[in-house]
Amino acid sequence: MQLVLDDAELHAPIVLHSPAMDDDEYYAFCQRHPNFRIERTARGEIVIMPPTGLETAYRDSDLNHQLFAWAKRDKRGVAFDSNAEYIVPSGAALSPDASWVSKSQLDPFSKKERQKFLPLCPDFVVELTSPSDRLKQVKAKMREWMENGVQLGWLLDADRKTAYIYRLSREPEELVSPKELKGEGPVAGFVLRLKDIWAGL
């Protein structure tokens, strides 16, 4: 197995060029390495992401708390944190920092199937940049989400207090220092308040 660094920085993602794994083999591989955050590209490459620092974890917790609390009240779907991983139509296996899936998408899957990575694309995703992220790469991931069926996506560049709104068949909208983001489409009614996310620790 060849080990290739995806970036020159020490804290950058590591890409493993390994023999092709089917979905079950990939899930088993992830279970054997529970201390790592792992994704798979559409080309079958295994990407191991570096851990985030406390500030990013704080921002991510705030984001997920708000989405989870709203989803529990709204009841149309289910919110997930960054531990959720989805096998999207391209074959990539991706984990957003936060996501929401309608109950109608989840209904066809059995309880046993839901214990693994589901072959579906979430309706709504949020990606939150961390110090190890390159904005260009996160934007590319957002495009991949949209190409695979996400209806609404938010990219939060927290240190720059900038939000990018991704909608189907439209160029992303850039917002500088917004106080909040209002959900639309699948998550109409959700409001993400950004004061503490922008402030960080």
Instruction: Give the least confident one: 3-17, 39-53, 99-113.
Output: 3-17
Instruction: Give the least confident one: 21-30, 96-105, 120-129, 179-188.
Output: 21-30
Mean per-residue pLDDT of the chain: 90
Instruction: Show Cβ contacts of residue 146 under 8 Å, excluding neighbours closer than 6 positions.
Output: 153, 166, 168
Q: How confident is the model at residue 131 (pLDDT cuts 50, 70, 90)?
A: confident
Burial (Cβ within 10 Å: 0-12, 13-18, ≥19) of residue 52:
buried
192: tokens are 């993400």
User: On the CB side of 111, how many CA atoms lie within 13 Å of its CA?
Assistant: 0
CA–CA gap between residue 120 and residue 132 (Å, rounded): 28
Average of per-residue pLDDT across 124-134: 87
Position 177 pLDDT exceeds 80: yes
Given this model, what pLDDT does residue 126 score?
Answer: 98
Average of per-residue pLDDT across 166-186: 97
Given this model, what pLDDT does residue 162 score?
Answer: 97
Position 127 pLDDT exceeds 80: yes
Instruction: Give the least confident one: 22-36, 93-107, 136-150, 157-171.
Output: 22-36
User: Whole-prediction pTM value?
Assistant: 0.89
Q: What percent of the chain has pLDDT over 70?
A: 90
Position 113 pLDDT exceeds 90: yes
Q: Over the stretch 146-173, which tens digit does the pLDDT of each residue have?
A: 999 999 999 999 999 999 999 998 999 9
**Amino acid identity, position 144:** E
Tell me the DSSP string of 43-90. Answer: TS-EEEEPPP-HHHHHHHHHHHHHHHHHHHHH-SEEEE-TT--EE-TT
